[in-house]
Amino acid sequence: MNRRPNYDNPTECRIRNKTLSVSLYTIPDNEIQAAAALLRAGETVAFPTETVYGLGADATNPRAVRKIFEIKGRPIYHPLIVHIAAASQLPVWTQKIPDAAWRLATAFWPGPLTLILQRSSQVPNEVTGGQDTVGLRVPDHPIATALLRAFGGGIAAPSANRFGQVSPTTAQHVHDKLGSKVSMLLDGGPCRIGVESTIVSLTDEEAVLLRPGGLSIEAIEDTLNKKILLAQAAAPKVRVSGMLDSHYAPTTPIEIHPTEKLWHRAHQLAKLGYKVAVLKLSDDNKCINSDEIKIFQMPLLANEYGRNFYATLHHIDHANFDRLLAEAPPTTHEWVALHDRMRRAAHSGALLK
């Protein structure tokens, strides 16, 4: 039942629109129906969303949800996001829907926003990690939407990676890391956003940002017409695994440096015999490719950088570099989620302020 594209065989590639940097993939309806049937049977299905690939299971089936934790190697007390087809399903999953939730759902769903709300009795403890709240999101991807509609219920899905590792933004990443452990893998091509959803908790009076992500904080504040609190400022009552300092870590150690220190550090490491990958943003050409140093020129726009970031980390991990040096991105608001992921990916969380 596994759907494993053969990446070496171009005839297996789906419709690719070369004018966009994102591929447009379609999945035949019989495969979507097969995936929905597997979910109903308590199996796991990996599927694309606009942010990253998810590892899905029937959110009302505790045994199926436990399989996600086993496959990911994730501690069972870390809650999962329940993906739903439309905001109209909110009352099934939550008992209290504040006005702010309707406003944000109307403005941004389907899209890269997860809302944390009081859970309803329908949500098993396995999904919430025993907490009385639930994370909900309507993903903005045609394959995810088709799967949710065919299945008819909520799909609990974390990112489809091993716990603490880099999230997958292509089906190949999922295949490489989770392989045959997943019952079915739906290939939707590269993810359009490439960074996980923004998570906002609405369980208290004030909205609290738990994780910056694909939707900007400013867009949320504009819609709510007020500032939202940052998780560190609010007393954290919730556990968010993405908040762990070591989260999103590739196996190649990362350092983040301002432009002026980047090349000095690259050469220092190269002299020690290290094979160094450099994620370069600036257009200065002090440093050139050599046997020891390989430069990855990253996009200057934050959304394009985000789309490529995890894929670049996966690539570098495969290529056996000893160290990854990332040039610190600008500190403007559109880079907030990337700063957050870079800081967590760096083995020392203190390198980037």
Task: Supply the Cα-derived Rg of the chain in whole angstroms.
Answer: 20
Geometric angle at alpha carbon 321, from 320 and 322, rounded to 5° = 115
Q: Residue 94, interface with ligand TXA (CB under 6 A)?
A: no
Distance CA 343, CA 345 (A): 5
Q: Which does 157 bind (CB under 5 to 8 A by kind): ligand TXA, Mg ion, none?
A: ligand TXA
Q: Does 116 bind ligand TXA (CB under 6 A)?
A: yes
Residue 84, C-beta contacts closer than 8 angstroms, at least 6 positions apart: 90, 92, 93, 136, 137, 138, 148, 154
**Total residues contacting Mg ion (rule CB under 5 A)?**
1
Question: Under the criterion CB under 6 A, does residue 212 sit at the interface with ligand TXA?
Answer: no
Distance between CA atoms of residues 113 and 197, nearest Å: 5
- In the bound state with Mg ion, the residue whose beta carbon lies nearer, of 173 and 257, is 173
Among 176, 172, 235, smallest CA distance to 204 is for 235
Q: Could you tell me if 248 and 341 are in contact, meaning their C-beta atoms sit under 8 angstroms apart?
A: yes
Identified binder of ligand TXA from the candidate list 4, 40, 66, 78, rule CB under 6 A: 78
State which residue, 135 or 154, has the beta carbon closest to Mg ion.
135
Binding map of ligand TXA across residues 151-180, x = CB under 6 A, - = no contact: ------xxx---------------------
**φ, ψ for residue 230, nearest 5 deg:** -90, 145
Q: How far apart are CA 250 and CA 30, in angstroms?
A: 36
Q: Give residues 2-61 in contact with Mg ion (rule: CB under 5 A).
A: none
Candidate list 43, 46, 49, 94; residue touching ligand TXA; CB under 6 A: 49
End-to-end CA distance of the chain: 47
Size of the site for ligand TXA (CB under 6 A): 30
Burial, 283: exposed, middle or buried (Cβ in 10 Å; 0-12, 13-18, 19+)?
Answer: exposed
Name the residue nearer to Mg ion (CB basis): 159 or 201: 159
CB-nearer residue toward Mg ion: 34 or 249: 249
Q: Per CB under 6 A, which of residues 217..276 are in contact with ligand TXA? A: 238-242
For Mg ion, give the closer residue by CB, 153 or 242: 242
Rounded to a whole number of angstroms, the minimum distance from the CB of residue 22 to ligand TXA is 16
137 near ligand TXA (CB under 6 A)? yes
Q: Distance between CA atoms of 172 and 177, rounded to whole angstroms? A: 9
Q: Which of 128, 165, 308, 312 contacts ligand TXA by CB under 6 A?
A: 128
State the minimum distance, in angstroms, from the CB of residue 264 to ligand TXA.
35
Cβ count near 311 (within 10 Å):
18
Interface residues with ligand TXA (CB under 6 A) are 49, 51-52, 54, 78-81, 112, 114, 116, 128, 131, 133-135, 137, 139, 157-159, 196-197, 199, 210, 238-242
